[in-house]
Structures are given as structure tokens and as C-alpha cells.
A = this chain, B = another copy of it.
Amino acid sequence: MFRTHTCGELRLDNVGEEVILTGWVQRLRDKGGMLWVDLRDRYGITQLTMEEGITPANLMEQARNLGREYVVKVVGRVVERYSKNDKIPTGAIEIHVSKIVVLNPAKLPPFLIEDETDGGDDLRMKYRYLDLRRTPVRRNLELRHRMMRETRAYLDARNFIEVETPYLIKSTPEGARDFVVPSRMNPGEFYALPQSPQTFKQLLMVSGFDKYFQIVKCFRDEDLRADRQPEFTQIDCEMSFVSQEDILNNFEGFIKHLFEKVKDIHINKLPRMTYADAMKYYGSDKPDIRFDMRFVELNPLVKNKGFKVFDDAELVVGICATGAASYTRKQVDELTDFVKRPQIGATGLVYARVNEDGSIKSSVDKFYTAEDLQAWAAAFHAKPGDLILVLAGGADKTRKALNELRLEMGTRLGLRDKNVFAPLWVVDFPLLEWDEEANRYHAMHHPFTSPKPEDIDLIDDRPGDIRANAYDMVINGVEVGGGSIRIHDRRLQEQMFRLLGFSKAEAEAQFGFLMSAFEYGAPPHGGIAFGFDRLCSLFGGSDSIRDYIAFPKNNSGRDVMIDAPSPISDVQLDELHINMKNLPHK
């Protein structure tokens, strides 16, 4: 028998019992004739104790030779501890060891297997199986498991049926780049790995499945960043015979359920914000509303006072940072440098500080009178002690930059607590966005998104103004989910493809099966998909989705542990009728 208990299980109640434990040697202390070993498994840590004169000498000797991360089986008796350790659940007891069996020795690990480790990123990825032994990393995956379980519990209780859709599907030109899979049985042809099960879930609605979900891997062959992985997991949902309202309500319930069950946090009704308001007041379609600091537009107040920068600007817009009037010159300079960084791209920063006596000191005192500045303060509802920060320039670019500055100020002022969660719905997204480079419209969500019925008249003359029945769930500035009511009418779908620049033949070749399905009795339907990795990292309080993926890939799309991708054999290439061409020299 390998064990009678786990290393997280024994309590005072077990005192006197003869037990068998197995686990990893976490630490060994040898002091004044006493020997302590911390034995670790997934469930916890239990202290083993040996003492010279009491423990047989050969057992002491054996224990002293144990190394970190040895796998051992231990027989012993549960004893009450003399000095208890309140930090661990087994801290009231220890094991007086009578036998040790080394199940597997271990080489010295390349980094410390402790909560705080000395291993760098690369090393921990190469030995990911050792990194996963560390409690914080293990807890991330345990959180992920609980979130999966609660997701299923919620949807299952509401009659959603989980249906597995295929992974070997068809490559489509719309959206991101596909990973493709050459077919041996159909030479010259390729499958694609799904970027999402979008068309399949819509077909399931046509089939009458009514409420579908799936927790499913999706794939995008895009250049990677910290929060992107070539393969990622989605909670994919679709419903028939629903309005947008039904979907928002259902998945508002879902996120509340998750917060309650996984984090014991009660969430109030989610506010809703239109895309237009989000852009106007936060400069972002995923506003972090843990703090207010809304944008205030100053154009009417600041123009024609001789300050050329503002006079020439399409938009002058600012935020009011509560309590930041005490910022030193150096701190303000830092903020100026921050907004001038190329990726943010503002040309400068104007500030106005509201002093304790109500007077205002600004960086543009030359152009604006005290009354002018008081009018600014009034527009911001600024109070003594507040710091007004203003940017100016082209409207879109300036809003984007001010969004970054707002988030930076939120962080500096401690308003972005990772333990506070502020979800909201952003609704009424535009249907299309104009792509300057390609000189055509793209679907903002995807080509299957339904325009708002009241906006359909705009389709010929002002398609860019059409709003969609599309919505995102945003939490703390992170888009965790998005969806839409779909088109279920063949003609409207054709019209949409035309708007997006598809020829009739292209649309038919790529999505003929879906448009055909719409002719055989397609119900009105809509859905949503959540980025599960992101949701986990948000719940866990991390910025990196990698921390919540068991075996992630690095920024070059490599798994450095197993060394993938890798060359394949000539036999494999021949079977697939593939030649490699123009390979870069290594």
C-alpha cells in the first residue's frame, strides 16, 4: 500500500494512528540531534520527525541522505506537536517515523521548488513539470479546474447541451490566420484548425439544439504577445429564440455564479454602456470602471484663447485625478514622458492643479485666466487637491492616449485593486470598421453578426454607421467575452458578405453550407464566447494567461520543454506530397 492518508489530511484527531504517507521531500532540517523533514504532496505538507537516541540510527542515517524532491514512502505514528504551526492545516501534528522507503531519488532541481523561486522564465518553462510542483502554479490550475466545473454546473442547470464540434475543419480567409493540416488521404488539400466553432454552433441552432455550449480549444496563427497563445480555450455558447436581452441576462447570471462559487464574491447588476459612450468617456471599448475618472471634453472651454496646440486640435480632452495635486514636477514630467512614448503618441501633456485654497496652477497659465481655469475645474467637478490632466490632438488618437494615461493614473493612485471586480456590458458596437489599408470594411465582430433592425436602412449609404446587436463583457479593463445576435436569413447574410468585399462565388465557396442551412428553417439565434484563459487569469489576479495554462508556448510559439515544433521525416513529407521551399538559413 502506498498511503493511508495524504500529506494534507492528518489532524489532532488522528494522534496515535499508525499511518503511511507518500510524497516529495520539500525540506530537511538537522539540528541538535533532531531531524525534521517536510513531506509534500498535492494536498499539503506534513512534518516528519526523527530524534537521535529514539529513532534507530540506521533510519536517522537514511533520512539524512534524503535529497530535495526525493519521492518517499514513510511509515510512522501521528503525534501531537510540541510547538504548533498555525500556518498549515496539518500544523498540530507530526509523524514519528519508523520506516522510510525511497520510491525514486531526485537530482538537484535546476531551481527552488518553493512559492518564491530563483528560476528564471526560460528555465521554468524548460522544466515546466517542476515549475508545476510549486504551490502557486498548482493553485492556478486548480482554480482553472474549479472555473470549468462551475461553468458547466451553471450552463448544465439551464439546459445547455455540450456538443463537441470538429477540430479538422476548413480554412477561411476571413479573420485571423489559420493553422492548417495537410491531408494525406486528400493530397493537395488541407484542413484548418478552428479559430472558433462559430459556424458549427450556428448550424447546431439550425438543428434545433436551442442551447449549446462547449469549453473548447481554438487556434490562431498570429504573432504572439504576453496575453496571446497559438492555442487558447473558449467557453463557447449559443442560444435560439432569444433577444440580446435574454443573452445578456443569462450570461450576467453566469459571471455572477462564477464569482460567487469560485471567489465568494457577490456581484451587483452589471452596468451597460454603449460602445459610443465607452469611447467618449473612457477612450476604450473595454473601460476599467473600478474607478471613475471619466473623460471630460474641453473644446468649448479652451478654444480661441491663443494656445495654438488646443486651437489646432480636433479634440481637447482630460481627466481629473483625485488627490494628485501634490504631484511633484518630477512626477508630472514622468507622466508627460509616459504619454509621449511612441506606442501612446501624445505630443504633450497639459496639467492644472487645484490647490488647497481653490486657486489653480496650470502649465498653460500664459493662455488661460484664473476664471478660464475655474471653468475647467467646474467641468471636471474638480476639488482642491485634484490634478487635471489634458491631452489634445486628433480625436481617436487622443482618446486612446488618454485611456492609457487614465489607466496609469488609476494604477498610481491605487484604484486598480486586483481583488476588486467591476464587470460591465459594452453594447451597440458598430457592425463594420473601415480598413484604410485594404480600402474596405471589416466585420468588427465577425461576418455573421446581425445589424440592428432599426439601422438596416443605412446599409447602402452609410454602412459604417450601422450598429450591431453585438456586446462584450468587460471586467477591469479586460474583454473577457463577446458575442452577438446572428444573421439567420440567407439574403441578409449574402448582403453582409458583399459589404465585406466577398464575391458571390467566394462567399458561396467558403460559407455556402451555412447560407444553405439558413434556407431550411433557421431560428433566430445569438451567442457569446468567453476567453477562458483570460477569465482564469483575471480571477487569479494575474496579468499573464500563461500562468493559467499547464503547458504554454513561448513568444515564438515554441514548447521549449518538449522542443516543438520540430522537423519531420522525409517519409512524412513525401506522404503529404510536401516540399519545403525558401527556408531561411539558420
Most buried by B among A71, A144, A223, A520: A520
For A241, what are the chain B residues with a Cβ–Cβ distance below 8 Å?
2-3, 22
Contact of A520 among B40, B107, B180, B219 (CB under 8 A): B107
Are the CB atoms of B581 and A133 closer together than 8 Å? no
Name the CB-closest residue of B to A533.
Answer: B164
Most buried by B among A24, A70, A190, A582: A190
Are the CB atoms of B572 and A219 closer together than 8 Å? no
Are the CB atoms of B41 and A566 closer together than 8 Å? no
**Chain B proximity of A65: nearest CB distance (Å):** 15
Report the Cα distance A513→B166, complex, angstroms: 30
**Chain B proximity of A571: nearest CB distance (Å):** 9
Contact of A578 among B133, B566, B579 (CB under 8 A): B579
Q: Tell yes or no: A489 within 8 A of B by CB.
A: yes
**Chain B proximity of A131: nearest CB distance (Å):** 8
Indicate whether A71 sits within 8 Å of B522 (C-beta atoms), given known contacts A163-B145, A204-B132, A564-B191.
Answer: yes
Are the CB atoms of A551 and B165 closer together than 8 Å? yes
Report the Cα distance A180→B184, complex, angstroms: 10
Are the CB atoms of B170 and A141 closer together than 8 Å? no
Stretch among A290-298, A423-431, A553-561 lining the B interface: A553-561
Are the CB atoms of B171 and A566 closer together than 8 Å? yes
Are the CB atoms of A69 and B550 closer together than 8 Å? no
In residues 101-134 of chain A, which contact B (Cβ within 8 Å)?
Answer: 103-107, 109, 127-130, 132-133
**Chain B proximity of A218: nearest CB distance (Å):** 10
Q: Tell yes or no: A313 within 8 A of B by CB.
A: no
For A559, what are the chain B residues with a Cβ–Cβ distance below 8 Å?
166, 168-170
Q: Tell yes or no: A167 within 8 A of B by CB.
A: yes
Most buried by B among A70, A144, A566: A566
Report the Cα distance A242→B223, complex, angstroms: 43
Contact of A190 among B163, B204, B566 (CB under 8 A): B566
Q: Tell yes or no: A488 within 8 A of B by CB.
A: yes
Contact of A107 among B129, B183, B519, B576 (CB under 8 A): B519
Q: Tell yes or no: A27 within 8 A of B by CB.
A: no
Indicate whether A129 sits within 8 Å of B170 (C-beta atoms), given known contacts A162-B148, A521-B71.
Answer: no
Indicate whether A577 sits within 8 Å of B582 (C-beta atoms), given known contacts A103-B523, A149-B156, A181-B180.
Answer: yes
Are the CB atoms of A584 and B104 closer together than 8 Å? no
Are the CB atoms of A69 and B521 closer together than 8 Å? yes
Report the Cα distance A171→B241, complex, angstroms: 45
Interface size on A, residues (CB 8 A): 120
Indicate whether A161 sits within 8 Å of B142 (C-beta atoms), given known contacts A69-B521, A166-B551, A565-B191.
Answer: yes
**Chain B proximity of A112: nearest CB distance (Å):** 13
Name the CB-closest residue of B to A230.
Answer: B168
Report the Cα distance A40→B145, complex, angstroms: 37
Q: Tell yes or no: A254 within 8 A of B by CB.
A: no
**Chain B proximity of A178: nearest CB distance (Å):** 8
Are the CB atoms of B550 and A204 closer together than 8 Å? yes
For A187, what are the chain B residues with a Cβ–Cβ distance below 8 Å?
580, 583-584
What are 24 A-B residue pairs whose CB atoms fall within 8 Å in the complex? Answer: A2-B524, A40-B208, A42-B208, A105-B521, A106-B521, A129-B517, A130-B206, A132-B209, A133-B208, A148-B162, A149-B162, A164-B549, A167-B193, A168-B179, A168-B565, A178-B572, A180-B576, A183-B565, A189-B566, A189-B567, A190-B565, A192-B568, A204-B550, A513-B563
Pairs of residues from A and B, 3 with the lowest C-beta to C-beta distance, nearest first? A106-B521, A132-B207, A170-B564
